[in-house]
């Protein structure tokens, strides 16, 4: 009897282990997918925003000396000597371009400063009597404290340079964090523009999507299915194609301008493309299904008897709608607005195609620094700025709307 009980417990334990292994095998592909498509890229982006090794790889001796510098006292002869030797060696080995590109991120003429100094030192033989005099003779900018602050910021392995730049901040000659001059400040204004455009798109989608969702949710089954297909139809088309189609429709000789002139509303073509109006129209069209679908799902769960009961008790239909029906749609409205807003924050293709120079959002600059200027550090810092702004807005929105209670069906 005792042996049977032990055997039964062993069999149950083995059966439990097999179930856990089977569950793990089912979850493992999804976990690996999320790990390599979501967690690893975000971790790498966070790393690139604070890790800076370009200067260390090219000028290792100068970087080592700069890391122990207090940034307030004037650079001594040993620092000039380490920098001069590294510049001359990198110029002779033709590896100086990496250091020149990195210093150009912090100084307006950093590239020409490094390259011209490299050319001046490459032909020298032996040690000069004074590296300080030799470098300043090659370019007087080596005598400026701000140049050495920029070198110290790039000496790695960790730096706050990219994050400060993303916030329109910098370190001055006294090593204090100050705001950049207005002609060099850009990214906070771009972030503000991105937030304003995302809020505008979200409100327009809600304004257009709520009546449409109400009509679809309360239509007959046949009409509702047909309308649902029309709502989903844009999602079956490429985002690039949908955005490019608006260029054809909104151009000066497009259908929209032809219709406005034919109806007598305008005497000539109205500028609808390559400006803020075109971006809003195209983005609202792209985002509208993501607002409508959660609201429809919520409206379909509201029993029609609630409205009938309110009206039977004497409530006006409008009063019954606002007091009984509308509050029950808030979970769908909250889910739709949050989804549209977060997606709009990271939009790149549509503003790049139909917007002007002053309509580009933060994602445009991230793509530019990634693909055009190879400034991965600043691209990562702007990505961190966008990620933090999105997370803050999400938690504020979740707190205001009690997002944890949202149910879509």
- Rg, Å, the chain Cα set: 31
pLDDT tens digit string along 218-250? 888 888 888 888 888 888 888 888 888 888 888
pLDDT tens digit string along 279-289? 999 999 999 99
Identify whether the C-beta of residue 198 lies closer than 8 Å to the C-beta of residue 345.
yes
Cα 81 to chain centroid distance, Å, stands at: 42
pLDDT tens digit string along 158-212? 888 899 999 999 888 777 889 988 888 889 999 999 999 999 999 999 999 999 9
Place of tokens 């033709």: 94
Name, in order, each residue with C-beta under 8 angstroms of 363's C-beta and a sequence gap of 6 or more: 194, 346, 347, 348, 386
Interatomic CA distance for residues 91 and 99, integer angstroms: 10
Q: What percent of the chain has pLDDT over 90?
A: 32
pLDDT tens digit string along 4-49? 788 888 888 888 889 999 989 999 999 899 888 888 988 888 888 8
User: What integer pLDDT is reported at residue 185 of this predicted model?
Assistant: 86
Question: With bands split at pLDDT 50, 70 and 90, how would you rate the model's confidence at 401?
Answer: low
pLDDT tens digit string along 49-85? 899 888 888 999 999 999 888 888 889 999 999 999 9
Interatomic CA distance for residues 176 and 367, integer angstroms: 30
Identify whether the C-beta of residue 350 lies closer than 8 Å to the C-beta of residue 286.
yes
Q: With H, G, I as helix, E, B as strand and everything else as coil, classify residue 67.
A: helix
Interatomic CA distance for residues 35 and 113, integer angstroms: 43
Identify whether the C-beta of residue 239 lies closer than 8 Å to the C-beta of residue 282.
no
Query: Is the link from the previous residue into 107 a cis peptide, with omega within 30 of 0?
Result: no
Mean of pLDDT over the chain: 88
DSSP states of 305-328 as a string? HHHHHHHHTT--HHHHIIIIIHHH
User: What integer pLDDT is reported at residue 3 of this predicted model?
Assistant: 75
């Amino acid at each position: 009897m005792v042996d049977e009980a032990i055997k039964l417990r062993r069999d149950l334990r083995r059966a439990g282990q097999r179930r856990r292994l089977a569950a793990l095998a089912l979850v493992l592909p999804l976990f690996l997918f999320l790990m390599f498509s979501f967690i690893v890229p975000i971790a790498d982006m966070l790393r690139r925003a604070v890790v800076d090794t370009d200067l260390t790889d090219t000028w290792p001796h100068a970087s080592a000396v700069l890391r122990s510098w207090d940034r307030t006292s004037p650079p001594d002869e040993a620092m000039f000597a380490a920098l001069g030797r590294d510049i001359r060696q990198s110029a002779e080995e033709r590896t100086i371009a990496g250091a020149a590109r990195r210093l150009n991120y912090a100084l307006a003429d950093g590239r020409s400063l490094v390259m011209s100094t490299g050319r001046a030192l490459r032909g020298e033989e032996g040690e000069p009597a004074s590296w300080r005099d030799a470098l300043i003779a090659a370019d007087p900018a080596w005598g400026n404290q701000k140049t050495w602050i920029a070198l110290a910021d790039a000496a790695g392995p960790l730096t706050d340079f990219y994050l400060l730049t993303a916030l329109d901040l910098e370190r001055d000659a006294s090593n204090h964090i100050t705001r950049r001059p207005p002609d060099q400040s850009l990214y906070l204004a771009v972030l503000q523009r991105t937030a304003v455009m995302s809020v505008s798109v979200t409100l327009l989608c809600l304004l257009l999507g709520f009546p449409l969702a109400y009509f679809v949710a309360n239509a007959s089954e046949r009409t509702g299915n047909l309308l649902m297909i029309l709502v989903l139809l844009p999602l079956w088309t490429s985002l690039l194609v949908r955005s490019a189609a608006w260029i054809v429709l909104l151009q000066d000789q497009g259908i929209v301008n032809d219709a406005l002139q034919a109806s007598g509303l305008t005497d000539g073509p109205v500028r609808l493309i390559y400006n803020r109006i075109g971006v809003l129209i195209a983005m609202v069209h792209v985002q509208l299904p993501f607002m409508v679908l959660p609201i429809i799902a919520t409206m379909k769960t509201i029993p029609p008897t609630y409205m009938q009961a309110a009206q039977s008790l004497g409530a006006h239909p409008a009063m019954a709608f606002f007091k009984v029906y509308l509050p029950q749609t808030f979970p769908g409205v909250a889910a739709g607005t949050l989804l549209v807003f977060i997606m709009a924050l990271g939009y790149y293709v549509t503003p790049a195609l139909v917007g002007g120079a002053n309509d580009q959002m933060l994602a445009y600059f991230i793509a530019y620094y990634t693909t055009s200027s190879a400034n991965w550090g600043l691209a990562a810092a702007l990505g961190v700025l966008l990620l933090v702004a999105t997370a803050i807005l999400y938690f504020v929105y979740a707190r205001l709307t009690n997002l944890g209670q949202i149910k879509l069906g």
